[in-house]
Amino acid sequence: MKRSEVDRNKISPMMAQYLEIKEKYEDTIVFFRLGDFYEMFFEDAITASRELELTLTGKNCGLEERVPMCGIPYHAYKNYLDKLIEKGYKVAICEQLTDPKETKGMVERDVIQVVTRGTILDDSLNSKDYNYIGNIYDFEYCYGVSLIDVSTGYSYAVVLDHQQELLLKEILSHNLKEVIVNDKIDRNIINLLRESYHVLVTIRDDIYEADDYQYLTEDVKDIRIKTTVAHLLSYLVETKKGNLSHLQKVELIDHHKHLLFDIHTKKNLELVETLRNRDRTYSLLWLLDKTKTAMGGRLLKTNIENPLTDTHELNRRYGMIEKLLTEFILKEELREALDEVYDLERLSSRISYGNSNARDMLQLKNSLKALPNIKQILEELHYDKQIETLDDLVDLLEKAIHPDSPVSLHEGGLIKAGYHAELDELKEIRKNSKDFILKLENEEKERTGIKNLKVGFNKVFGYYIEVSKGNIKEIKEEYGWVRKQTLANAERYITPLLKEKEDIILGAEEKIIHLEYQLFMGIREIAKSYVGRIQAISKVIAEVDMLLSFALVSEENNYIRPILTDDHIIQIKEGRHPVVEKVNKKEYVANDIIMGKDTNILLITGPNMAGKSTYMRQLAITVIMAQIGCFVPCKSCTIPIFDQIFTRIGASDDLVSGESTFMVEMKEANTAIQNASENSLILFDELGRGTATYDGMSLAQAILEYIHDKIKSKTLFSTHYHELTSLANTLPHLKNVHVSAIEEEGKITFLHKIKNGAVDKSYGIHVASLAQLPKELIDRASEILNVYEHKNTKKQTFTQTTLFLDTEPETEAKDRIREKLESINPLETTPMEALNILYEFKNELQQSKTKS
């Protein structure tokens, strides 16, 4: 039965209430609280029962047919909720707002928050990753994009030109799982985000207008940014419903401040996950992450995804690493101190939002207690940023919060003795009465002579005296006991005195729970007023943690401080690929990468498996490490600051868009060619391989010439088109290098050593002969190679002259002439006719030349 088919006049009041609420949350699964369960109805029930493997039942609600229903116990809802969110659903949590015991008629219910992938604020999040929700506001001449991580409060925004490609690049680069868009946006973008990138997209036009979060954009003048942020806020306020005052002021994204690369490059270089398994292990992030705190881990990831271009800041970071490496003891102390620090950013967000419990407060206290020590170490290291220590707050938490607090806020046990006099008094009363009951047990044992008599408690009957069946006969009427419950082998009794004490205990208990809750709320409110300061401390801690991680990794792996230069030169001595050297069992062969002012392109030749692509990646990774402020894997390194990196490495077909390898290759090449500057780094691995030999080779050559003459960026270009190596004769800024292999005891061994010049041409045949193919066959191959080589030298000059000179009208003219020639029979043509034809041909050629 569907919701749309329901006769509203017949349904029960509860179902009417449900339908009214559900109407406001059409695209959301509603968890509807009924007593101890969250129930789902109609389509929601069908979806949830399928996704969560729950039994689908039905509920009578006044209609002939039962309404589909399924439910989950409220105390165990979290796992189910997480599963639905993970699968991309939104869930609205609808609670009972009045106590059923005290309410006449219908209990009031309403949604207290909507949980979505992009707005989670609990500990189910990956602690080492941010969780941004984004929005796109299409102004029709430009796009506004903003991002907010609700779990930490970080907020960013940018205005982009009205180009879909730019927009997608921005959205994808932040790994957004959820995006809000306004209605003007092109539906193709929405479809692409939903279907190809599994982003949860919500279309809505609302703009947040109240004053509460004006501060987020108070420093921004651009009205487009204000609108964009307000658009995202309207969604957040409506879904989260609680207090979001932990959100931090919006920072404008400035692309010039960062070394840019697109997601293909991020994937190709395996910066945060590996290509094959999409696993963090063996990525650059994995290698560099020795952070102790969640904040440090997240900052490191952000840096790897967004390296810097500010020489001053990078040198500052190198300086700090150097300092840490010389101050061995302080470094170790700092490491230990950071161990004590929990996720301050997310703790403070939860405190501010109002969903933190006493255990969060204990984590906060323990983290804050580490601050004085950290502060002192930072001072001794002459660190240029300060942290404050929040001693008052530590004091309060130390005095107030019970060290063994439970998760729940509704069962007491939150507040320490000595914090609040009235609470202590109530606890004393409770304790005395409990002691009295213990005493009573002993007294009754003596009075009755029943040794195994015991006093117990349950929620239904309260305190009782339990006597086993065999001893019942010992009970005398004069005791005044009243039988209350019969069990299989025992009877339970109550007495007036027991009930009197029970009233006192339960009364005190109730008051204690209530009072503790109130006191806790007060403490949380005080902690909330510190959130801004805690966020400031967190930022410094995150940076210190990241730099400490750099220092540790650099020390462990012998990395050195790079020198950043304004000259257009790369001088890396004995460079290594940091991940390959770590993971490979074989000894890593270090290689120089030298590109002086006059060398912009290294053309790398060599057989498969020689190490060409590793060499190229090595440079990119070294550049990225240098531009996040880390030391680099080599003996010495002088490099300029790069503005962008473009790569075409490996055979990563774009499975998502279903395009062919070659098309992807050409698109990536195009991105580089259109966007690279003199200060960019381009890595092209075997470009052109995806098409026929001459086709691919011509393209490769044309691209090389274009980069050489027009773009002038530092470029590594590997190829197996040996013919391309002769380009070094005509392109002065291109240099040949090669990786070769040697024969050792009849086996091919790759030395992985990069050398100047081009690789030996007959290398393939050499390998074939080592593989002991018949001698006759090898000789024939050498013969054929000779012929090709002879042809190719001609071909090359031909391509060089014709590829660029032959114009379209000319080609058409030639085609026409050829056609005509073929149709002529010389034996039937008179000399005069022949002369005319010759004249006509010449004319046509002449004309085509002037046309072009």
Q: Which residues bind ligand ADP (CB under 6 A)?
A: 580, 584, 586, 588-589, 591, 606, 608-614, 752
Phi/psi for 303 (5° steps) reads -65, -45
CA distance 839 to 826: 16
By beta-carbon proximity to ligand ADP, the closer residue of 274 and 471 is 274
- Residue that has been written with the tokens 């604020």 in this structure: 121
Shortest CB 271 distance to ligand ADP, Å? 17
Sheet containing 454-458: order of strands: 454-458, 462-468, 490-494, 482-486
Phi, psi for residue 424 in degrees, rounded to 5:
-60, -40
| DSSP-based helix, strand, coil % in the chain, nearest 5 | 50, 20, 30
**Would you say 147 or 716 has its CB closer to ligand ADP?**
716
Is the CB of 121 or the CB of 580 nearer to ligand ADP?
Answer: 580
Side-chain half-sphere CA neighbours of 594 within 13 A = 10
Q: Are 640 and 578 in contact (CB under 8 A)?
A: no
Residues near 69 by beta carbon (within 8 Å), at least 6 away in sequence: 39, 40, 41, 45, 56, 57, 58, 59
Cβ 305 to ligand ADP shortest distance, Å? 24
Task: Say how far apart CA 589 and CA 547 lie, in whole Å.
Answer: 28
Between 466 and 574, CB nearer to ligand ADP: 574
Q: Shortest approach of ligand ADP to residue 686 CB, angstroms?
A: 8
3-state secondary structure 121-145: CCCCCCCCCCCEEEEEEECCCEEEE
Q: Which residue is it, tokens 């207690």?
A: 369
Q: Which is nearer to ligand ADP, 584 or 811 (CB)?
A: 584
Q: Considering the complex, state which of residue 264 and residue 430 has its C-beta at the smaller distance from ligand ADP.
A: 264
Nearer to ligand ADP, 365 or 752 (CB): 752
* Residue with Cβ nearer ligand ADP (49 or 591): 591
Q: Which residue has the tokens 């002369």?
A: 835
In terms of Cβ atoms closer than 10 Å to its own Cβ (0-12, 13-18, 19+), residue 843 is: exposed
Smallest gap from residue 744 Cβ to ligand ADP (A) = 16
Report in angstroms how near the CB of residue 776 gets to ligand ADP at its nearest: 30
Angle at 669 between CA 187 and CA 198, to 5 degrees: 30
Rounded to whole angstroms, the Cα distance separating 503 from 505 reads: 6
> CB 617 → ligand ADP: shortest distance, Å?
8
Closest distance to ligand ADP from the beta carbon of 289 (Å): 22
- Identify whether the C-beta of residue 334 lies closer than 8 Å to the C-beta of residue 341: no
C-beta closer to ligand ADP: residue 102 or 587: 587
Contact between 224 and 139 under an 8 Å Cβ cutoff? The reply is yes
**CB proximity list for 536: less than 8 A, separation 6 or greater:** 387, 388
Residue number, nearest CB to ligand ADP: 611
Q: Of the two residues 217 and 614, which places its CB atom closer to ligand ADP in the complex? A: 614
CB nearer to ligand ADP: pick between 591 and 769? 591
Q: Supply the minimum distance, in Å, between the C-beta of residue 581 and ligand ADP.
A: 7
Q: How far is the CB of 342 from ligand ADP (least distance, A)?
A: 39
Q: Shortest gap between Cβ of 533 and ligand ADP (angstroms)?
A: 48
| Among the listed residues 341, 398, 397, the one whose alpha carbon sits nearest the alpha carbon of residue 373 | 341
Element (H, E) at 811: helix 808-823
| Number of Cβ within a 10 Å radius of residue 105 | 7
Q: How far is the CB of 792 from ligand ADP (least distance, A)?
A: 22
